[in-house]
Amino acid sequence: MTYEDLKSDLAKLFDELSISKSENIYVTGNISKFARTRLLKSDILRAITKSLIESITPLGTIFSPSASMNLCNSDIVFDLAETPSHEMGPLAEFLRLQENSVRSFHPFWSISGLGKNAELLKDVSRHSYGLFSPWSYFLDANVRQINFGIHPSKAVTLIHHIETAVGVPYRYTKEFIHPVIRNKKEIMEPFYMSVLYKDTDITKRIKLNEHYFEILTQRGQLHHVKHKSGIDIWSFQMSDFFNVVEPIFKRDIYNYLEHEPKIRPYQQ
């Protein structure tokens, strides 16, 4: 297989997923199975990126995770331009490094964007989730999530934004004072994340998000294609996921846990 073959294959698959010229997409997952094409990693990354850009040009935007959670609870300085993403995969890092890429300013949970609406990442809150976070803007912009190689039930960070938005009691907003680079100077600034309480019997569901995606599948809102290399690609609208999940949290605020916790420090 050649670079052009892979690019052509992906263009057809993205067309099957009905990705349009005006679409805003969030890309995540594991692209390791593309190695079966025997192409160089650089060619694989270029083919994926080029195919995505051509599928959404000129009005669309590509977003991808550029989180650096390894900086959390450390004194490692965050530099918007220089700090690499951590364990987000080669595609995420490749997109972060593209010319004209825009990155949201958060030392632990940042997002990168390429395209017409990437500028929205320049005006985000200091909280990783919640109102005015990238996830909030993604819902407003009707962003479609695309998962390569990992079923979205195992890779949907949006669920934590929903937990924050509905105010689950087993999480709280923690303040982190962290060193960052602003205007070429190192300064300390506050940032916020929604984190789980410690020393409790809070246990996340073993199957986590599977129930939510079963509903999306039943409604015909989870789409799937498969490349000849064996890699699966899924897509869904973030707003559809939100509309499925939010009512479940309204009925059962603990639905994301295996059981209601008996040890509840938030009652004290």
* pLDDT tens digits for range 62-79: 999 999 999 999 999 999
Among 49, 61, 77, 50, residue whose Cα is nearest residue 20? 61
User: For residue 259, is it within any domain?
Assistant: no
Q: 154 lies in a domain?
A: yes
CA–CA gap between residue 162 and residue 240 (Å, rounded): 13
| Residue 268 included in any domain | no
Residue 257 maps to a domain: no
> Which residues of the chain are modeled with pLDDT < 50?
none
Other Cβ atoms less than 10 A from the Cβ of 201: the count is 12
Identify the pLDDT of residue 57.
Answer: 86
CA distance linking residue 214 with residue 219, whole number of Å: 9
What is the structure's pLDDT at 58? Answer: 86
Peptide bond into 179 cis (omega under 30): no
Rounded to whole angstroms, how far apart are CA atoms 127 and 262?
A: 28
Buried b (16+ CB within 10 A) or exposed e, 72-96: beeeeebbbeebebbebbbbbbbbb
Q: Is 260 part of any domain?
A: no
266 in any annotated domain: no
Amino acid 268: pLDDT: 75
Evaluate whether 130 touches 161 at the Cβ level (below 8 Å).
yes
- At 21 the pLDDT is 87
Helix (H, G, I), strand (E, B) or coil at 26: strand
- Residues of the domain holding 248: 3-252
pLDDT at 234: 98
Q: Would you say residue 261 lies in a domain?
A: no
Identify the pLDDT of residue 174. 97
pTM attached to this predicted model = 0.95
Domain count, the chain: 1
**Is 258 inside any structural domain?**
no
